[in-house]
Chain A
């Protein structure tokens, strides 16, 4: 057959009132059935959903390449973006399917954003097609959030801003150290995140890199604590298929922590019921990004959940703190200290 035609689909839904916004884009490159010189068409799908008045936003993008050949490898790109206000759920899902024969390049990416009670929040998930199916899901919401379960996508990021007590308690569950650090009467949990990735079932043992991240912007000027709650692992029997993973923390674009794991056992230990005191030099305007990258070449998946929070000071403490900050010229000093706090660790 001759070469298949390219397909481009773009969809945008915007609700500036209280209604929901739902956007769906599907692109399928023309087929070229048979294994010969020609290839199927490329596929690009982009779905955007924006709800600014309190409604939810759902964006779904799917890009499929029917076939590829040795002479032409068309691209499959699926991109979904969902954004809301007032903590309403923003849910973005993408699927990119490469062609039969020669795996098409391209990627699936999803981004979800919301704002809630002065905080802003973004979840991002990216997975390459790399010759295999790529699916991603990003969710951002306020108050309540997603259960800690493996949704099965190649990369996923679920973030919640200012989780209510019920959700925070459920997510933290039996992680006693995290509960002790973040669920006290004067503690506030600013945000939670569930990050994870799974190797594609049709990955063919080719190495692939999946990434997920959560970004929280909020105001706080006291001791900030990170609770690493739990992990969830599937597959990777006897470590087969697992290559490495990386966990990073960025503050205002500056990397403050970078941990690389070559061992699943050490990663499990790291993410299970532990608290990291991040100190008090990130405020008053905090921009934190928690990043996760999984590199794998065989069946399996790994994910974890975390919470970020701290104690709310008494009013008198706030006043003293502010005076102290002014006297020390804290703002000018902060960037120097932050740069000096960077930690890079390789485990296992």
Chain B
């Protein structure tokens, strides 16, 4: 499922900002009680975090202009626990959502500044399998992050460009079961002024 975030319409200000945050993935459900316990309930996997894409673009003929784009990938959901006292396996953590931020500024006369910041979502925690035979799930991977910024000026102003990307941290390995978590919503934000 995708969710819009931020402005998607061009605006007239020479300073455009765009931000997007992906939804967090839901936690996986715990394994249900089963008989005999040797067929223990399996924990559901955590949902993956939603992707976040933010883009800001500002282009003017004269005067200073700025574009800022920021995105945060959704965090992965935690895995569900395997049924206790059984062989139910723990669920995997969901992966963190990827984040992409793109900022672009151009002006003919004036300062052009572009800033792009992207933070990948944190991976979801895993869950432990039921004791004594269940296997532990795997923690989710952190989301990737990509930031790109471009600033261009054609006259006396300065061109200032900054891009920062931080990958999401991997999910913690914890002990905790058989409903899948819902996936986090994607988010896309874009603004542009030409």
Binding site for B on A (CB under 8 A): 1-33, 36, 38, 40-43, 45, 47, 49, 51, 55, 66
Contact = CB atoms under 8 A, between A and B. Distances in A.
A8 B101 CA distance: 11
Contact of A5 (B109, B139, B145, B147): B145
B18 interface: no
Contact of B166 (A15, A18, A30, A47): A30
Interface in B157-186: 157-173
6 contacts: A2-B138, A5-B144, A7-B146, A13-B152, A33-B169, A49-B161
Contacts of A36: 173
Given A11-B163, A17-B155, A19-B155, A4 B147 contact: no
A4 B156 contact: no
B57 interface: no
B93 interface: yes
Contacts of A14: 150-153, 159
A7 B120 CA distance: 8
Which 9 pairs from chain A and chain B are nearest by CB?
Answer: A5-B167, A30-B167, A2-B170, A30-B142, A2-B139, A5-B142, A41-B167, A5-B120, A17-B155
Given A4-B141, A8-B146, 12 more contacts: A2-B123, A4-B168, A7-B166, A9-B118, A19-B155, A21-B158, A22-B160, A30-B120, A32-B169, A36-B173, A38-B170, A40-B167
A11 B161 contact: yes
Nearest to A65: B167
B188 to A, nearest CB: 19
Contacts, number: 195
B91 interface: no
Nearest to A54: B156
Given A3-B170, A14-B159, A28 B123 contact: no
Interface of B: 73, 93, 95-96, 98, 109, 111-112, 114, 116, 118, 120-123, 126, 138-173
Point out which of B155, B164, B167 has the most chain A C-beta atoms below 10 A from its C-beta: B167
A12 B150 contact: yes
Contacts of B159: 13-15, 19-23, 49, 51
B156 A17 contact: yes
Contact of B144 (A6, A10, A45): A6
Given A4-B170, A5-B168, A19-B156, A24 B163 contact: yes
B54 to A, nearest CB: 14
Contact of B158 (A5, A24, A27, A55): A55
A36 to B, nearest CB: 7
Contacts of B142: 2-5, 30-32, 41
Max chain A Cβ within 10 angstroms of own Cβ: one of B116, B120, B160:
B160
Contact of B169 (A6, A23, A24, A30): A30
A19 to B, nearest CB: 4
Contacts of A21: 158-159
Contact of A7 (B122, B152, B158, B165): B165
Given A16-B153, A22-B161, A28-B165, A1 B120 contact: no
Nearest to B166: A28
A297 B147 CA distance: 36
Contacts of B112: 13
